[in-house]
Amino acid sequence: MRIAYILTSLGIGGAERQALLLAERMAERGHAVTVVTLRPRQAEEWATSLDPHYLGLRKTPVSLVGGLAQARRILRSFEPDLVHSHCFHSNIFARLLRLAGPAAPLISTIHNVYEGAWPRMLAYRLTDPLCRRTTAVSEAAALRSMRLKAVPRRKCSVLTNGIDTAEFAPCCDRRARMRSQMGVEGEFIWLAAGRIAPSKDYPNLLRAFSLVRAARPAACLWVAGEGSGADLAPLRALAAELSIGDRVRWLGLRREMPALLDAADGFVLASAWEGMPLAVGEAMAMEKPVVATDVGGVRELVGEDGRIVLSKSAEALAEAMLGMMEAAPEVRFALGSAARQCIETRFSMDAKADEWEALYRLVLEPDR
């Protein structure tokens, strides 16, 4: 097959990483693959063995028209059998491309429970005839999209995210090195990962951690995620107000996530909304006990192999974190082992690539 992937950018984010992993897996399996990104090259991007095309779009009608013309030329030259777009902006862009004339079948993927307010849902609804199939990364995301009539039930499928279980595998030596590098002695380290954004609800996490810290002074919280000074300033101020500023480390954008996960003792997600959080799956693959809020596809991913609590409740999150810390080491170890087994069995990237290949072939059948 000849497959064209359309992404908004290659910036450091879960959806971008997932789309690139899938594109690379398809290329490894012998398919011809090209990647088109709407935005210019970013200062920080995921590394890829592929050779992406950057359209360099700006938020103007002229730029959009020029970008559509450029993308059309790229696709005409590549001659894809199908096109696969990811996230709202790329999904709508890819649908508009089809207005220029006959084109390859299009699959759109929704990566979050919340992809925007009603104008975006209306845009999905109006452009749906231009798309052959829409997929969502979780049942929760699919159900919400169908409930809002952004996607018709008959055209919606769920294909969850996949985890690279070879890259995300625990290593005792790496844990010792990273803990030494980070100056960790006997502290219990909680790791949170994700962009500094409203969806991650870091204020909720800080309030929960302040309760944890009051009961267990040896606890520390690391936050690995990209964020501007303007985004971080109110969070730092809140941490200081809660008297936990000295126990919270803002790590910024970090690429060595397997090593950080090795060094951590537990992983925590405090999000207000999600699709299918890649960071949680990666933590599970690294055999980390997980505490997470019950949003998006978290329950589908974690199941019984972690602790799930109500969102926007610092008290519930803190209680689960403390419960995990107070559990016997062998209990946490068993939970982590079960979590990795779950990822290997149900969410490995190779298994997901098989599912995507099957869907691609289904979409390409003449009567579909």
Beta bridge partners of 156: 134
Q: Are 200 and 231 in contact (CB under 8 A)?
A: no
Distance CA(238)–CA(245), nearest Å, equals 8
Q: For the range 153-159, what are the long-range contacts, defined as Cβ-Cβ under 8 Å and sequence gap of 24 or more?
A: 155/128, 155/131, 157/133, 157/359, 159/109, 159/135, 159/352, 159/355, 159/356, 159/359
Cα atoms in the Cβ-side hemisphere of radius 13 Å centred on 50: 27
Q: Please state, rounded to an integer, the average pLDDT across all residues of the chain.
A: 94
Find, among 182, 259, 253, the residue nearest to 221 by Cα: 182
Reply yes or no on whether the pLDDT at 101 is more than 80: no
pLDDT digits (tens, 9 = 90+) for 9-58: 998 888 999 999 999 999 999 999 999 999 999 988 998 999 999 999 99
Measured in degrees and rounded to the nearest 5, phi and psi for residue 262 equal -55, -45
- Listed in order, the ranges of the chain carrying CATH 3.40.50.2000 are 2-162+348-364, 172-346
Domain 2-162+348-364, CATH among 3.40.50.300, 3.30.360.10, 3.40.50.2000, 3.40.228.10 = 3.40.50.2000
Q: Where does 101-256 have alpha helices with state H? A: 118-127, 139-147, 172-181, 202-215, 229-241
pLDDT digits (tens, 9 = 90+) for 304-314: 999 999 999 99
Angle (deg, nearest 10), helices 118-127 and 88-97: 30
Q: Which CATH architecture has domain 172-346?
A: 3-Layer(aba) Sandwich (3.40)
